[in-house]
Amino acid sequence: MSAEAGSKLTLLREPVLTVGGVELLAALRSALAWLQANQEEINDLNVFPVPDGDTGSNMYLTLRSAVEEAQSAADPSSAAAVLGAAAHGSLMGARGNSGVILSQILRGVAQGVGSQPRLDAGAWARGLREARTVAYKAVMKPTEGTILTVVREAAEAAGRAAEESSDVATVLEQAVRASHAAVERTTEQLQVLRDAGVVDAGGFGLAVILEGLSRAIADPAAAQSPPIGPRRRAGEDRVQLPFGSADAAPRPSVRRGAAAVEMKEEGWGYCTEFLIHGPGLDPERLRDELGKLGESALVVGDPELVRVHIHTGEPAPLIALASSRGRLSKLKVEDMSAQHHDVLGRADAAERPPVIEAPEPAADAPRKAIGVVSVAPGQGFRDILASLGADAVVEGGQTMNPSIEDLLNGVRAAHAEKVVLLPNNGNVILTAEQVNGLIDDCEVKVVPTRNLPQGISALLALEPDSTIDANAARMSAAIKHVHALEVTRAVRDSTANGHEIKEGDVLGILDDEIREVGSDEPSVIEAVLGSVDQAPELVTVYRGGDVTPADAEALVERMRATFADTEFELHDGGQEHYSYVLSLE
């Protein structure tokens, strides 16, 4: 679409002539929400430069760090101050190859607009133009068909639009359109993307960020309602996603995305990241010295602070050389071969035939008025759900999300005229919401349960003689009073919610948020239960498949002694990956 055509769209609203710090911060928050909504889709696309499946997560953590610092800008009314703080925050919190490049894009925008307190259309065009320059300079061997191509084409489109329009929203709209078009062309530019059947993950991530930013500036009210689930442009080609995402159906005959890339015999090496603190650092010299010790090298910063990201087979020599040049902090070394192995493992699990447990109805048996289909991992949980009235239980959960086809088969197995579908995992909700439009002879209503405790609570609220709408409402109300504590072990070193996490640490995850990190399950559970605002009346403990009955009994007895006013129950959940799942009511 031309800039002229784009400007005609603005007749339905007042033109946005300038943007100050307050509006810019709201737009950055909107961009973060859009990125979070697409985070897993971006992870699934990730095949370049290595298929470690974390591009979306890295970009999200980087932008989150930028937004957190932007919220503390010295002059919140100044766009330049907010951008400067965001750029610094992104450098400090940059994660992975894509995160470091994103930090340089933000740095370039900040440099391009200078000290202007309010940004007009020309300032946005200059900022994106400088973002392109800084991003390309940061990469030792720039490759087209990546996030670099996307930022370049977005900048060029913004420049053309700014020559014809003074409306900031129009300029950003054209940048967004160009970025999405550039993303679609990345498959034509990189063989690794063609082989995997996907577009570039980092490029798509940048397009999503620009989308959230643009929409919030064009319509500030939109920034108050963050998206839930993947959001892409209406009327344009759908981005090429690997199987497993909510809108990727039907199941292809071959794997796509990172799961389509074979493990290298020599492995992928280690993603090594750290900060070097000055004074007197020479970023150019460091780039030359450190870049020789690995691949995908990104060395950016100034005499006071330099961010380093390098893929290397031997992290120790790299770290030793860097530490001789300045003080190191935020050191992180991740085994990319292990990450890719996890991706392949999830793909293997997804291709196994799902377990759908339901009694076989007689061929001429009348259909029930209302049925319930639930998703669950572990035989114990499946038995519990069936005993509470689930007509079919589809195997699945964390790391093994069922497909749309799996859920459809579960709905058919329920043999009911109307079906309530309980996904019981945040990553399954979007897939579940596609089912109703794909089956003609049955109405399917999704109750968005995010974990198994919510699914059990929803089943307890079922009234078989009531309508499906009334049941969905009752179930939705019931799950609001249930909190889930999931206990697992960290598979790699990381940082989350202010916690420094080491591989093997025990994580206490309360309602999808890491609340406690420790060395053993009982102390972590005890710490989380002691930290909740209101002590639960009932805690139901579901032990995982790797926990012995004796260990689970000992844990529950310890909790009963510590929390005398809380009732504890113990059941066999049989789930993988989580040693314990606790329902707090």
What are 115's two structure tokens? 């000290």
Burial of 349 (0-12, 13-18, 19+ CB in 10 A): middle
Q: Residue 511 in contact with residue 498, Cβ under 8 Å?
A: no
What are 486's two structure tokens? 């999931």
Q: Report the alpha-carbon distance of residue 141 to residue 201 in Å, rounded.
A: 18
Strand partners, 152: none
Phi then psi for residue 72, to 5 deg, are -110, 25
Predicted local confidence at residue 373, as pLDDT: 92
Q: Report the alpha-carbon distance of residue 113 to residue 127 in Å, rounded.
A: 5
Q: What is the DSSP letter of 223?
A: G
Phi then psi for residue 313, to 5 deg, are -85, -15
User: What domains are defined for the chain?
Assistant: 3-229 (1.25.40.340), 270-340 (3.30.70), 353-479 (3.40.50.510), 483-584 (3.30.1180)
Q: What angle do CA 364, 472, 350 make, to 5 degrees?
A: 70
Pairing of strands 270-277, 327-335: antiparallel
Q: Report the alpha-carbon distance of residue 195 to residue 320 in Å, rounded.
A: 37
Residue 36's contacts (CB-CB under 8 Å, 6 or more residues apart) are 60, 226
What are 117's two structure tokens? 């307190």
Q: How many CB atoms lie within 10 A of CB 569?
A: 11
Low-confidence ranges of the chain (pLDDT < 70): 1-13, 48-53, 222-266, 339, 341-364, 397-400
Q: What is the DSSP letter of 576?
A: S
Q: Report the alpha-carbon distance of residue 480 to residue 284 in Å, rounded.
A: 54
Predicted local confidence at residue 385, as pLDDT: 84
Q: How many CB atoms lie within 10 A of CB 126?
A: 23
Query: Mind spelling out the 3-state secondary structure of 440-471?
Result: CCCEEEECCCCCHHHHHHHHHCCCCCCCHHHH
Its pTM surpasses 0.75:
no
Computed over every residue of the chain, the mean pLDDT equals 83
Torsion angle of the four alpha carbons 173, 174, 180, 184, in this order, in degrees rounded to the nearest 10? 160
Q: Report the alpha-carbon distance of residue 311 to residue 264 in Å, rounded.
A: 14
Q: Do you know the residue count of the chain?
A: 585
CA distances from 111 to 44, 95, 142, 172 (A): 33, 21, 21, 18
Q: What is the DSSP letter of 264?
A: P
Q: Report the alpha-carbon distance of residue 275 to residue 319 in Å, rounded.
A: 11
Q: What is the DSSP letter of 571?
A: E
CA distances from 237 to 177, 186, 232, 250, 416 (A): 12, 14, 9, 17, 36
Predicted local confidence at residue 556, as pLDDT: 92
188-214 burial by CB neighbour count: b if 16+ within 10 A, else e? ebbebbeebbbbbbbbbbbbbbbbbbb
Predicted local confidence at residue 245, as pLDDT: 37
Beta strands in 214-265, from DSSP E residues, in sequence order:
none
Q: Report the alpha-carbon distance of residue 541 to residue 556 in Å, rounded.
A: 8
Predicted local confidence at residue 167, as pLDDT: 93
Q: What angle separates helix 96-113 from helix 201-218, to the nearest 10 degrees?
A: 40
Q: How many CB atoms lie within 10 A of CB 73?
A: 22
Burial of 328 (0-12, 13-18, 19+ CB in 10 A): middle
Q: Residue 493 in contact with residue 512, Cβ under 8 Å?
A: no
